[in-house]
Copies of this chain bind each other. A is one copy, B any other.
Amino acid sequence: MRLKDLGERALLGKLAPIGYPPGAPLPPGDDAGGVWVGEVAWLLKTDGFLYREVALLGMGPFEVGFRGVAATASDLLCKMGRPLGFTLGLFLPPDLEEAFVLELVKGAAEAAGRLGAVLLGGDTNAGEEVALTVSGFAQAEVPLPRRALPGDLLYLAGDRWGRTGAAIQAHYQARDLGAYPEIREAAFYPLPRLELLSLKGLLRGGLDSSDGLAETLWQLSEQGVRVDLEALPLYPDVLAFAGDEALAHELVLYGGEEFEAVLAVPPEQEAQVLARAKGAGLPLFRAGQVSEGEGVYFLGTPVKRRGYVHF
């Protein structure tokens, strides 16, 4: 079967178990892979993308390099891994200007540095168009899988919900973001949150949201639970950008590229989670809860599954 007929999710489902070790800190197909070394989980993650697919209007190579490290770091941080270092795999047309590549790598270094991590080199190859992979490794004392149990509360970390979706929509509509500085910042410099690590040991599960919140919640529900959204974060600028509440909800549910965390919190840990997050300065939004069953619902209405896939 051809990849375009199989679909990316089905392909990844078939690839993930190949060569993956039994007894690993995280199951195959999770946001990152890992091995135990003594009592510490060492996580490794690679994320790749084409430059033209992620460079929104106004973004340059610096922002795309930044975004690349952010994407990989977000996967590691959602697993409670503290990122240590990143490498880049670059495919570059020979006609490309040197300055472009330097800016790309400087953007990657900026994101790594703001996460307390470093760049550890990489590799360059000639390619038809600019494409990148970013790999990162991290240490996790209590690695956090994609998981939720009935009764768990659903929290959204960070404040990029709907904002990155708005920026992507602005790109396709060639709409200027001058009046929306926080939307622009969220999409151009989506720094994942080291503050997540303050919740170590308190959570049931965590997922990186990069294909959109709805898709992420559907992936959570595939663990064998029903997800009920009771509220969505709605920032004034996202509401103003969207024009009305229903359109703003669409941006929150189907935006993508947030590089924020979806967290399953056991009810008995909620008070401590909120206290620690407050102490660390991590925004947390209580979005709903998890119960027995299947599917994803928003105020009782089914949430359609639609997210970005490459095939």
Contact = CB atoms under 8 A, between A and B. Distances in A.
Interface stretch (A118-126, A219-227, A257-265): A118-126
Q: Which of A11, A45, A48, A92 lies at the interface centre, i.e. has the most chain B CB atoms within 10 A of its CB? A: A48
A108 interface: yes
A215 to B, nearest CB: 15
A18 B131 contact: no
B91 A48 contact: yes
Contacts of A120: 20, 24, 32-35, 44-45
How many of these chains are in the complex?
2
A1 interface: yes
A70 to B, nearest CB: 14
Interface residues of A, number: 76
A11 B124 contact: yes
Nearest to A4: B94
A95 interface: yes
Given A1-B97, A15-B102, A18-B109, 20 more contacts: A3-B94, A15-B101, A19-B108, A19-B118, A24-B118, A33-B87, A33-B121, A35-B84, A35-B85, A35-B118, A37-B84, A42-B42, A42-B84, A46-B122, A48-B90, A49-B125, A50-B125, A50-B126, A89-B89, A94-B311
Interface of A: 1-4, 6, 8, 11-12, 14-16, 18-21, 24, 28-30, 32-35, 37, 42, 44-50, 84-98, 101-102, 105-106, 108-110, 112-113, 118-129, 131, 133, 135-137, 139, 310-311
